Amino acid sequence: MKLSVEKAEDNVLIIGCGRLGSCIANSLSNENKNVTIIDKDKDAFRKLSPSFGGLALEGDATDLDILKEAEIDKSKVVLSVTDDDNTNIMIAQMTKNMFAVGKVIVRLYDPDRECIYKESGIETILPSILSINEIEKILGAKQ
C-alpha cells in the first residue's frame, strides 16, 4: 500500500492506533513522512512496526491538552479513525473550529451521517460504502 501527502515535512496526525490507524501510520512512516499517532490504550501501539519513526502519544484525543501536545496546530492533515463515530466527529469539529488544519478526515461506520459533515469541510471515509462498491465490482455488477 502506498500513501502520500503533499510535502515530506508536513505532519500527519492520526487519532486511533487500531487496525486502520496503525496501518496508515506504518505506511507513512516507511515513506519518511512525519507522523504523530494518539491512542487512549498504550497496548494499541504494539501494532506499530519496529521501524516506525513517528511520535506515539497515549491519551484520550477528545482532550484538548493531548491534541496540543501532539502539536495539532502544526499538522497538515488530521485523520480520526477511532472505533467510535461520535468521537471521530467530535475530534473533527474541534480540529476544524480551533486549529488551522488543511485537511480533516474521519472514518464513519454509519453512512447516513456523511451528508451532514461533507458540507462542513470534513472529509469522510465510509467503510460500508467502500465495501459495497467493491462487492458490486467483484460480482460484476459495476465496472
**28 makes contact with ligand AMP (CB under 6 A):** no
Q: How many residues bind ligand AMP (CB under 6 A)?
A: 20
Q: Report the C-alpha gap between 59 and 72 in whole angstroms.
A: 14
Min separation Cβ 57 and ligand AMP, Å: 9
Full strand arrangement of the beta sheet holding 122-125: 55-58, 34-39, 11-15, 75-80, 103-107, 122-125
Q: Report the C-alpha gap between 100 and 12 in whole angstroms.
A: 13
In the list 16, 70, 104, 108, the residue contacting ligand AMP (rule: CB under 6 A) is 16
**85 makes contact with ligand AMP (CB under 6 A):** no
In the list 6, 8, 19, 129, the residue contacting ligand AMP (rule: CB under 6 A) is 19
Beta bridge partners of 75: 11
**40 makes contact with ligand AMP (CB under 6 A):** yes
Min separation Cβ 141 and ligand AMP, Å: 29
Contact stretch for ligand AMP (CB under 6 A) within 40-48, 96-104, 108-116, 123-131: 40-48
Nine-digit cell string for 68: 496540543
- Over its C-alpha atoms, the chain yields an Rg (Å, rounded) of 15
How many CB atoms neighbour CB 61 within 10 A? 27
Residues near 32 by beta carbon (within 8 Å), at least 6 away in sequence? 8, 53
**136 makes contact with ligand AMP (CB under 6 A):** no
Contact stretch for ligand AMP (CB under 6 A) within 2-10, 26-34, 57-65, 118-126: 57-65
Please give the residue ranges that form the binding site for ligand AMP (CB under 6 A): 15-21, 38-41, 44, 60-62, 81-84, 87
